[in-house]
Amino acid sequence: MQSARTLARARGSISRAMSTSPSGLVPRLEQLLGRDAVLTQGDSMDKYCRDWLGQYGERALAVVRPNSTEQVAAVVRACSELKVPLVPQGGNTGLVGGSVPRSGEVLLSLERMHSVRFFDQDSNVLVAEAGCRLQETDEWLRREHSRCIPLDLAAKGSCTLGGNVSTAAGGVHVVRWGGLHSSVLGVEAVLADGTVVDGIRTARKSNTGYHWSHLFVGAEGTLGIVTAVALAVPPAPRNRAVAMVGCADWEGVRRLVHRALGPDGLAETISALEYLDAGSVDMAVTWGGARDPLDERYPYTVLLEAASADLSSCSQRLEHVVQSAIVAEEAVTGVIASSTQQERELWAVRESVTLALTKRGAGVKLDVSVPLSRMAGPEGAVVAARRHLANELPPGWLSNATSADFESLCGAGWNGGVDEGGVCVVGYGHVGDGNLHLNASIPSLRKARGMPEGREDALFAGAVAWTPPQLADAHSRVGAALLPWVPQWITEHGGRGASVSAEHGVGVSKLSYAGLSRGEGEELLMRRLKAALDPLNLLNPGRVMTSDH
Ligand code: FAD
Ligand code: 2HG
Ligand code: ZN
């Protein structure tokens, strides 16, 4: 397959949108929405114009906050007439730089569209506006109707249903309920010329032609603005049981995954199956404030959750899986939570890694699908990336890079809970559905200064003797070493089980290598769809696909 860059040059079908500031647009937007719904001053726009990772975003021409589908359509029409590009935004928790503007673009926030329109009790379908926050809506649904949104992720407090649908967000329950393609029954969307398309259906079945609503699942705002969604929602399981086990090697993890997913395992009670390597647990404990419930650090930690209507079936199944995994020497040890508080503590270890990484410093993020055998362990992507970095970086930059045993480096860089510094590579993720989050972490002096006193010395004095200019340089050196090397490795070793972007989307950060997982025909089809629906290339231009110059 060709790279995205090569394909973009070859085809040249998408024009570059104008990004100058046409006079008259801001007063027109104020007239359409009211002055308080249009922000143009730096301070008030800041939070909309910087992404969650603090890596992307420029000053918008204006931030607009419509409160209805009609207002969204009016904004889109006004921008379309003046050929001004638009970026839709939900909770701004995206991790690929796609939710924030480039200079001169209008940022359209869905935050004021946060009403549940209705819940159909016969079909159990929720119809809600795009700006509804995931956690708030899920809690409402559980309280009022004993049902739940079949999606959960650590950003749930801030992310929105529109953003979730637009990124085809995965999260921890894909192993139980599948991805959002399994539950989206329809969307309401505003197209690039301001046309409103109403695909909201509460019918569970509707085969009346193209299932076009699903084009918007994962389109990242490039084909239209999602203003409302219809979601099939399952009964909220009344009980859950959570366990965490320590494994000595990757082969044990693989066998445990097979066991948990099998008919004698958690079967239909499976709710989540996650893994962390020792470096990720170290990260969560040192920088994320989590507490490791296991007696010592193991190369791999697996979190299992079972959920069902009656308590006995999920807890019995979970206990059976954990015990038999220990007997079969897949796991060395395990704990099963005996209270809601303990369940939360186990989940905190897994859910705090992303935030912990940002506290430690800068990072290079990869979010890939890969066959289990190639995820971790001696033959896996994490070890391969670490080995590659050891060759590419100056001596001493990678934590304990002198060790010949690259798998044992999973936990390297930490000594008795103290971060010894250096670049480290950690792997964790949704092991039940083959989704690896591979992160390289580069400590930052600025962030270290926010640490408890004395700790910053530990961060830099140990494995690495860096000067501040080298630190500034380290992020780009690590990025250049890993990209596109890791995506290429994944593509080469993962076959049809590989994807260089599993669940976070492409945005701008994966543009240079997304083409590795898109065949030539797929790329062409995507470009034709984009050109048909957004001929002026005004909706999130240059995200998901490159714009031609
Ligand atoms: P935004 O960040 O605002 O936007 C994301 C993209 O969708 C942008 O391209 C934007 O233009 C577009 N968009 C947003 N709203 C609309 C709309 N109404 N119409 C059209 N386009 C729109 N992701 C996972 O998949 N799984 C995880 O487990 C996971 N965990 C996370 C944990 C943390 C701590 C964080 C910070 C992020 C995590 N994410 C995860 C990524 C992120 O939360 C998801 O991508 C989420 O779905 C984004 O929702 P949002 O409302 O914040 O969208
Ligand atoms: C998760 O599963 C998220 O925790 C974020 O998808 C992953 O930060 C990451 O790399
Ligand atoms: Zn994830």
Q: How confident is the model at residue 10 (pLDDT cuts 50, 70, 90)?
A: very low
Distance of alpha carbon 345 from alpha carbon 341, whole angstroms: 6
Q: What is the H or E stretch that residue 473 is in?
A: helix 468-482
**What per-residue confidence (pLDDT) applies to 4?**
36
Q: Using one digit for the tens of pLDDT, what is the confidence trace for 26-65? A: 999 999 999 999 999 989 999 999 999 999 999 999 999 9
CA of 245 to the centre of ligand 2 (A): 20
Distance of alpha carbon 184 from alpha carbon 211, whole angstroms: 11
| Structure tokens given for 454 | 């004395």
**DSSP strand pairing (196-198 vs 239-247):** unpaired
Mean pLDDT within 149-170:
98
Query: Is 183:165 a contact under the CB 8 Å cutoff?
Result: no
Work out which ligand 1 atom sits closest to the CA atom of 505.
45
Q: How confident is the model at residue 311 (pLDDT cuts 50, 70, 90)?
A: confident
Work out which ligand 1 atom sits closest to the CA atom of 430.
28
Distance of alpha carbon 31 from alpha carbon 62, whole angstroms: 14
DSSP letter assigned to residue 133: B
List pocket residues of ligand 2, CB cut-off 6 Å.
154, 354, 365, 367, 429, 437, 439
Non-local CB neighbours of 486 within 8 Å, separated by 6+ positions? 366, 368, 381, 384, 385, 388, 438
**What per-residue confidence (pLDDT) applies to 204?**
96
Query: Is 260:270 a contact under the CB 8 Å cutoff?
Result: yes
DSSP string, 394-448: PTT-BTTTT-S-TTGGGGTTEETTEE--SBEEEEEEEGGGTEEEEEEEEE-HHHH
Tell me what percent of the residues of the chain surpass a pLDDT of 70.
87
**What per-residue confidence (pLDDT) applies to 5?**
38
Amino acid at 185: L
User: Does the pLDDT at position 123 exceed 50?
Assistant: yes
Q: How confident is the model at residue 394 (pLDDT cuts 50, 70, 90)?
A: confident
Number of Cβ within a 10 Å radius of residue 27: 11
Q: How confident is the model at residue 447 (pLDDT cuts 50, 70, 90)?
A: low
Q: Using one digit for the tens of pLDDT, what is the confidence trace for 214-256? A: 999 999 999 999 999 999 999 999 999 999 999 999 999 999 9
Which protein residue's CA is at the shortest distance from atom 5 of ligand 2? Answer: 354
Q: How confident is the model at residue 507 (pLDDT cuts 50, 70, 90)?
A: very high
User: Is the beta carbon of 94 within 6 A of some atom in ligand 1?
Assistant: yes
* Averaged confidence pLDDT in the chain: 90
**What per-residue confidence (pLDDT) applies to 360?**
84
Q: Is the dihedral of CA 431, 435, 440, 443 positive or negative?
A: negative
Amino acid at 115: S
**What per-residue confidence (pLDDT) applies to 248?**
93
| Structure tokens given for 146 | 């004993």
| Structure tokens given for 396 | 């001493």
324: burial class by Cβ within 10 Å (0-12, 13-18, 19+)? middle
Q: What is the H or E stretch that residue 383 is in?
A: helix 381-392
Structure-token match 């492409």, residue found: 506
Ligand nearest to the CA of 170: 1
Mean pLDDT within 261-271:
96
Mean pLDDT within 310-326:
95
**What per-residue confidence (pLDDT) applies to 11?**
39
**What per-residue confidence (pLDDT) applies to 523?**
96
**What per-residue confidence (pLDDT) applies to 406?**
52
CA of 158 to the centre of ligand 1 (A): 9
- CB half-sphere exposure, 344, CA atoms < 13 A: 3
Mean pLDDT within 481-491:
98
**What per-residue confidence (pLDDT) applies to 247?**
95
- CB half-sphere exposure, 372, CA atoms < 13 A: 16
Query: Is 426:299 a contact under the CB 8 Å cutoff?
Result: no
Distance of alpha carbon 362 from alpha carbon 55, whole angstroms: 9
Query: Terminus-to-terminus CA distance in the chain, angstroms?
Result: 22
